[in-house]
Amino acid sequence: MELKVSVKAPAKINLTLDVLRKRDDGYHEVEMIMTTVDLADRIDLIHLEEDRIVVDVSEGYVPNDERNLAYQAAKILKERYSINKGVSIYITKNIPVAAGLAGGSSDAAATLRGLNELWKLNLSLDELARVGTEIGSDVAFCVYGGTALATGRGEIIKKISSPPPCWVVLAKPPIGVSTAEVYGKLKVNQITHPNTQAMLKAIEEKDFTKICAQLHNVLEEVTFNTYPEVKHIKAQMERFGADGVLMSGSGPTVFGLIQKESRLNRIYNGLRGFCSNVYAVRLISQHHS
Ligand code: ATP
């Protein structure tokens, strides 16, 4: 019997984020193109004979109780499939928290994939994604990884081909942004919408220049108004020469897409001058299997 499974939980970025309308159930109807990058948390799942779920996190300020999304993932699977053994979940956080990179959702998704193996449940990714949707809107995407179009409240996932390989510089100013607050401030009838179809076509054609031209996130303006430093980071990244720049999710992380490695260091070092959380990573093209 397997006693330990380790899984990677990669961060995501939004290449587009559109809000179509506010629904009667309080959620927003969205249309987003998301892709994973190789900045990842690590989840170690260790079998416990005792029937309980224990969570331990390398970052002190992330909850280690039932508020942790990885805990919730384990609890749902355990109840649904009547597992009477326990698990110890150790999370090594590398993805910044409350950053717009879906760190918590990715930890939950990785926990679902890992427990599927540890507990030999033989569930398909579609089944795991359905369970994930009960935890949070971004969890389904994180179950599949790769690149996808997400609709509904973000839980309806259509896998698409991957963008051409490139570098991604992520810069996170030292603030945490509440996704609920940003959506709450959004004026849905005053939005300039992204051209999602044009972005899908650009990705399909692997046209890097067109992808950069179509980057658009309707939440940017809301977060920029509340936190001008996020707008400043975007401007700096453009000034240092990134090919395309956008805020991810509800922010505050801003990412730049860069094709030439020779430009990467200049942009990375330039941003490090005034922002302590800067990462140079790559897109991950494959979906999980
Ligand atoms: P999204 O892009 O999906 O809105 P985010 O990157 O903005 O997500 P997270 O890093 O997922 O935000 O964290 C949001 C909140 O969720 C945090 O304030 C934290 O307390 C809580 N949380 C629960 N579980 C986790 C986890 N495993 N890792 C990080 N945060 C978690």
pLDDT in tens, 4-50: 999 999 999 999 999 999 999 888 999 999 999 999 999 999 999 99
Could you tell me if 245 and 234 are in contact, meaning their C-beta atoms sit under 8 angstroms apart? yes
pTM: 0.96
Task: Determine if ligand 1 sits within 6 Å of the CB of residue 76.
Answer: no
Residue 1: what residue type?
M
Q: Whose CA is nearest to atom 26 of ligand 1?
A: 104
- Catalytic member of 12, 78, 93, 172: 12
CA of 250 to the centre of ligand 1 (A): 12
Residue 232 makes CB contacts below 8 A (sequence gap 6+) with: none
Listed in sequence order, the DSSP H helices in 24-101 are 69-80
pLDDT in tens, 106-156: 999 999 999 999 999 999 999 999 999 999 999 999 999 999 999 999 999
Among the CATH numbers 3.30.230.10, 3.40.50.300, 3.30.2420.10, 1.10.10.10, which is that of 4-160?
3.30.230.10
CATH hierarchy code of domain 167-282:
3.30.70.890
Task: Determine if ligand 1 sits within 6 Å of the CB of residue 91.
Answer: yes
The length of the chain in residues reads 289
What's residue 285's pLDDT? 77
| Stretch(es) of the chain classified as CATH 3.30.70.890 | 167-282
Task: Determine if ligand 1 sits within 6 Å of the CB of residue 100.
Answer: yes
CA of 59 to the centre of ligand 1 (A): 12
| Stretch(es) of the chain classified as CATH 3.30.230.10 | 4-160
